[in-house]
Structure 1
């Protein structure tokens, strides 16, 4: 029973994390498929410990910043962002675009740090702490390219391919189209997408590899408006992107933490 209650509480937190404006009690109960009374008890418990608050005007429940604060505190103490930031800053400066770090938190891939290199004109930006869409982002496709086809497809099926209106016009609609992008990334040594994840945006990503296991533990990406981040610009940036990823791959403290976090699939117990 305790495990079931914990699972429900975690599902509730993940649900609210995807709805920053909050949700009414009825919607929460229906989405989680639990009784309204049970949802209310979970929310009351979380509210008592300041993880959830109820909007006095709308009645909606939303997360406080406590979870985000804990996450940021944890990352700062691991030193991961500190180690990566100078590399991100350099990559952003060289490319003139947004540089981001994503880490493997198996089976998820999450953006945790960034540096903006665009000083004028159009800028592409992205939220930190969000899970990358594996089938449409250069970040996701780079990670998939490091895995076997079987493991890659299993991770994609967990997320789903999504619907056409969610992404850009070039987003893969079939497994075959996705695997064509994955195989291109394997051959090139980094992933490249244009108008797949976001209309009007292009991006490229290279994996950070654990020096002992050879598993990808994260990756670095460069993203910007597709009118500016052209194939010619991609080819000019690629050596710097690959060098930056190699630099982080060689940092022992960095790879040790990320390797433990999710650089390899968890081993089944029992």
Structure 2
């Protein structure tokens, strides 16, 4: 059973978090299709709990830093910064290109970490380094989807907006289910995802899947991206084994085998500690 007020509070938080904007009550209510009175009550609750703040001059609402602090705490607790970042830095140095890592979050991939390996000249740096990954248009998306049953891969793409507006992507982006299925078959055989002028014009990327354990489900992806004039087909073939090796190393550590499988299943450990006391 759903809890509607909780869902609507989360919708307000998500709306206010999108561009870190402050918004008037009327716009919040309109965008979320809520009555003003209901939106006002929910916002008052968020203000009381310290999640939101109302500007005394304009009456507009914005988030406090509480969500950012909580997110940072969670990010550190995952082990990604201290365990995975050094490997991303090494891959960036080896490839001399932009490296990113994404993690699987339900039926989406989300960028969570990056490293810049290019030192000068033509340099690729996306504007969104923490965002949801367009699955059909990216090497990371293909790397993950190619490990799934075809029906599941297609379902996930369609659930995430399908193929979207092709005008927002590069000229070579996949535009149909049949093309996607062919691309995923090629990706599975190759061992890594490849996108050449797909997510963005003039950008080439390759990515490999990170598994949470040997032969286990995919936990995320690691990718290398750069200008297509530099990431030629020959250069891609050189970097393919480098990227897959980095993904394999990340899989071995992911992250530190989920903190040593939660310290070998903490309930048993806790019971032993209780008994000894």
Range into which the TM-score falls when normalised by the shorter chain: 0.7 to 0.9
More displaced stretch, 53-62 vs 239-248: 53-62
More displaced stretch, 92-101 vs 67-76: 67-76
Q: Tell me the TM-score normalised to structure 2 length.
A: 0.84
Tell me the SS of whatever aligns to 2:136: coil
Q: Report the equivalent of 1:77.
A: 77
CA drift of 1:43 comes to: 2.2
- For residues 77-111 of structure 1, the C-alpha deviation after alignment (integer angstroms, 9 at most, x for no partner) is 23122111111011000111111111112122111
Distance in structure 2 (CA, Å) of the matches to 1:141 and 1:55: 44
Q: Report the equivalent of 2:249.
A: 247
CA drift of 1:227 comes to: 1.8
Distance in structure 2 (CA, Å) of the matches to 1:56 and 1:170: 50
Q: 1:64 to 1:178 in 2, by over 3 A?
A: farther
Q: 1:212 to 1:243 in 2, by over 3 A?
A: closer
Q: 1:246 to 1:213 in 2, by over 3 A?
A: closer
Tell me the SS of whatever aligns to 1:13: helix
Q: 1:185 to 1:2 in 2, by over 3 A?
A: closer
Tell me the SS of whatever aligns to 1:214: coil
User: Do the aligned partners of 1:208 and 1:220 also contact (CA within 8 Å) in 2?
Assistant: yes
Q: Report the equivalent of 2:66.
A: 66
Q: 1:234 to 1:61 in 2, by over 3 A?
A: farther
More displaced stretch, 246-255 vs 89-98: 246-255
User: Do the aligned partners of 1:170 and 1:194 also contact (CA within 8 Å) in 2?
Assistant: yes
Q: Report the equivalent of 1:223.
A: 225
Q: Report the equivalent of 1:43.
A: 43
Q: Report the equivalent of 1:8.
A: 8
Q: Tell me the TM-score normalised to structure 1 length.
A: 0.86
Distance in structure 1 (CA, Å) of the matches to 2:59 and 2:203: 37
Distance in structure 2 (CA, Å) of the matches to 1:229 and 1:57: 52
CA drift of 1:200 comes to: 2.1
Which runs of structure 2 are paired with 1:178-257 in the superposition (5 Å)? Answer: 178-212=180-214, 214-251=216-253, 253-256=255-258
Q: Larger Cα Rg: Structure 1 or Structure 2?
A: 2
Distance in structure 2 (CA, Å) of the matches to 1:70 and 1:128: 19
- For residues 247-268 of structure 1, the C-alpha deviation after alignment (integer angstroms, 9 at most, x for no partner) is 11112644436x99xxxxxxxx
More displaced stretch, 79-88 vs 169-178: 169-178
- For residues 191-239 of structure 1, the C-alpha deviation after alignment (integer angstroms, 9 at most, x for no partner) is 0001211222111110011325521111101111222222111111111
Tell me the SS of whatever aligns to 2:250: helix
Distance in structure 1 (CA, Å) of the matches to 2:234 and 2:22: 43
Q: RMSD across aligned C-alpha pairs, in angstroms? A: 2.4
User: Do the aligned partners of 2:222 and 2:247 also contact (CA within 8 Å) in 1?
Assistant: yes
CA drift of 1:246 comes to: 0.5
Distance in structure 2 (CA, Å) of the matches to 1:94 and 1:35: 55
**Where does the alignment leave 5 or more consecutive residues of structure 1 unmatched?**
261-270
Tell me the SS of whatever aligns to 1:152: helix
**Where does the alignment leave 5 or more consecutive residues of structure 2 unmatched?**
263-277
Tell me the SS of whatever aligns to 2:154: helix
User: Do the aligned partners of 1:137 and 1:193 also contact (CA within 8 Å) in 2?
Assistant: yes
Q: Report the equivalent of 2:101.
A: 101
Q: 1:147 to 1:185 in 2, by over 3 A?
A: same
User: Do the aligned partners of 1:51 and 1:63 also contact (CA within 8 Å) in 2?
Assistant: yes
Distance in structure 2 (CA, Å) of the matches to 1:131 and 1:254: 25
More displaced stretch, 170-179 vs 234-243: 170-179
Aligned length: 259
